Every structure is written in C-alpha cells, then in structure tokens.
Amino acid sequence: MKSAGDKELLKLCLAELFEKMGYGNPQQISQSDLEHLSYLIEEKTRIILSLSTLKRVFYGKFERLPQVSTLNALTSFLGYGGWQDFKAKKSFENNILPVRTSNANNPTRKPLLWLRRYRYPLISACAAILLLIALRITTSRHQDQVTFFIKKIVTEGVPNNVIFNYNIDHVEGDTFYIQPTWNKNIKIKIKKNNYTQTDTYYEPGYHTAKLICDGRVLKTVLVHIPTKDWIGYSKVNFYDPYPEYFKREYIIRDSVLGLNIDGLKASDVDMERNKIYYYAYFPDSIQLSSDNFVMKARVRMKKIGKMLCPWIISEVYSEDSFFYFTGTIPGCSSEIQAMFSDKYLDGKTTDLSALGYDVTRWKEIEIRVLKKKVTVWIGGNKALENFYSRPGGFIKGMGFGSNGLCEVDYVQLEASDGSIIYRNDF
C-alpha cells in the first residue's frame, strides 16, 4: 500500500525535473518539450515513456500514483537509483513519511534512537538496492538471450528495405516490437519462433532500430541509409512516415540547391497542405568528429502561400545525436528550437531572440563546435553560445529544411584545424 506521502514525493520529483529541464509553468510545456524529454529519458534509462504518460504525470491527471516503471524512469533520469532510492533520500530530507513513537507502556525498554529515526530510509534504501539488483540481473539475462542484427540492406537510397534477424524465444514478456528512431509512432510487432522481419525506411540517415519488450529496450542496431548525393523530400510534419520525394533534376538549378514551384509541380507534390521541405545528404562515410567541426552555409527561403512564421532549420547529423537550430523572423523567436547532442533549447523557455532574422533574404550561417562548446553565427554575428555533455560521435550527414522552399547557395564542412572536409557550390 502506498504511503500518503508518496504524492508529495512525486511533486518533489516533478519540481526537480522542471528545474533540471528549465521548464517554467507546467501548463506552458509544449509537445516538442515532452517529445524531447521522452527521448532523453529513453536514452539514459532505456525505459520508454509515451507522450500520454508524460502529460498525465506533468498535469496531475491521475487518480493514483503512476506505475512503478514510470516513477523509476523519472527518478533514474534525475540521477537516483530509482523510485525507492528517491523516496528514501527525500523522505528523510523533507520528513514526509511518518515515524512511529516509542512504546509508552514499556518505559524500561530503551529503543535504539538512531535505528528508530532512520529505519524507514534504511528499509527503503535496502528495497531500492534489491530492486536494482533484480532489474540488472533480469535485464542482463534478457540481453544475453536476445539476438538482433541486420541481415541485409537491400538497395541504396530511399525508399529502402532493411532485413532484420532476431531471436526472442527465451525472453519472457507480453509484447515485443521493433521501433525505428526516425518515427516513434511506428511499432512493428514481432513474435517468438519467427526470426526475420523486414522494414521499409523512407528517410535517409543514420538511424537506430530498437528491439523492445514491454516498454524496455533489449537491443539496438544501427541502420545507415546513405544517399549518393543531395536528395529532397517533403513531409506533413516531423513524424509523417511517408515523404514525397522531389525529382533529382529539379532540386539543383542555377547553382542553388532548392526547388521552385515548377519543380514541386513536376514532382507531383501536393501543395494544398502545409508541409516541411527537406534537403539531405548522407555519404557513406565522413571521418570527422561532431565534437569538433565547423559547418558553413548561405541560405534563404521562399514562402509558399500564407505563413505567419517562416523558418529554416540547418542541421548536422551525427552517430548519436543532432546539431541544429531553427532561424525565423524576429517576431516569432518563441518558436525557435535548437539542439546540440544532449543540450536542447526551446524559445518558449529560453531567450533565443538572437537567432531571429529575415529568413527570406540570403544569410551566412555557421555552426561551430570545439570541444563540446557550440557557437552559432548568423550574418557574421555571434547569435548563440552554449555547451553540451554527451559525445556525438562521427558526423553522418547534413540537412536543411523549411516550412517554405529553402535554398542553399553553398555548404562547407571543416575540421577544427580549418581543413575542408566537404564543400559543394551546387
């Protein structure tokens, strides 16, 4: 039975989480904030918390406490050993759980005062340790019994079929599925006594496929879908699983990477709906660390129809993360987002107004990373400086996107010593 103090402890947990993530009013937390938090929690704890679960927890929409797995994920993300460890430490610090008084009818008995004072935290701490040991033994046993690897990538470019081999026959669980990182809404159910699963990848890039049992990640494999050169495609939103591809002959014209309206029509792209238009390049190999690089480009965008906040995203993709920022007109700076490995910045909770500029005019942009220190330059002016912690691995690709027709005059990728690794003037 849960103590009456557990809800107070959950409030303390959420307050600590808000402080860690830089959130203000919980009612102003956006869906993109929750999506990013879900991603970070999964990366650190290997436990998947859905957006609906995070919304219920953040907005207090539950009659009883969330499931223990949810509480373990939240507290583990904060650096504790799990919910019981969090309870043990916070109960003592905040004197939340009740402590029984001594037996007044037995005055000759002198209880150990230190044991009386600390018995609940000690019991909770022991329970937390036993739970962690059990989880680690179970997880280790599951992972030792699981096989998961790529048998073959059928072709080059997109769309592309990836054939996975797996074996989950000796793992106990109710639900098994494979999930690609490029779209968390896609879950491919798999069964025991069947060892092959084929999935279609519609976007290029350096993806991670996850083998999941009852919400816990058992194994991951890397899926690299390269491109021969720059390609273009559009999506209704970031999680749209079925992009519309642009015909190659229309994406580069007059020494500029970018379609015009005629190119969209020739590619049979539906222009009646609001969309995001992308250009991406994923070569077979770029031997350059994402923790020390410079990406330079000259970009602008052209509006399609009526839009209140036109924006451009400039991005470098790495093995383990993303390095990007969005630029938009100054009056829309609250919509700006930036991410550099494990550092995520949202214009609603961070002042990113320096990243605001007239995106419809040509502008030189630069992302410079040196020893995990990021500097963003726009038009020769330093617009942002920040730090991140988690190494990003090798660079795997570059991309540009917009809610209009983005154009790129040139793009250049440099090592930290200034040597040019890649340049394209189109």
Identify the CA nearest to 405 among candidates 248, 194, 262: 262
Distance CA 294, CA 31 (A): 31
Q: For residue 26, what pLDDT is reported?
A: 65
Distance CA 79, CA 16 (A): 11
> Are the C-beta atoms of residues 2 and 65 closer than 8 Å to each other?
yes
Q: For residue 192, what pLDDT is reported?
A: 92
Q: For residue 94, what pLDDT is reported?
A: 58
CATH top-level class of 231-424 = mainly beta
> Are the C-beta atoms of residues 236 and 183 closer than 8 Å to each other?
no
Q: What CATH number has the domain spanning 147-225?
A: 2.60.40
Q: Which residues have a Cβ under 8 Å from the Cβ of 210 and sit 6 or more positions away?
A: 178, 179, 180, 181, 217, 219, 220
Q: For residue 53, what pLDDT is reported?
A: 84
Q: Which residues have a Cβ under 8 Å from the Cβ of 380 and sit 6 or more positions away?
A: 364
Q: For residue 211, what pLDDT is reported?
A: 93
Q: For residue 279, what pLDDT is reported?
A: 96
Q: For residue 122, what pLDDT is reported?
A: 52
Tell me the domain boundaries of the chain. 6-142, 147-225, 231-424
Determine the residue type at 334. Answer: S
Determine the residue type at 351. Answer: D
What stretch of H or E contains 137?
helix 113-145
Q: For residue 270, what pLDDT is reported?
A: 83
Q: What is the pTM of this model?
A: 0.69
Pairing of strands 292-302, 244-245: unpaired
What stretch of H or E contains 323?
strand 322-328
Q: For residue 296, what pLDDT is reported?
A: 98
Q: For residue 272, what pLDDT is reported?
A: 79
Determine the residue type at 310. Answer: P
Average pLDDT of adjacent 10-residue blocks, the chain of 426 residues:
68 85 71 79 80 81 78 88 85 54 43 48 55 52 76 87 94 90 80 93 90 89 91 88 90 93 89 89 90 97 89 93 94 93 91 95 97 96 95 94 96 95 96
Strand partners of residue 289:
394
Distance CA 406, CA 400 (A): 7
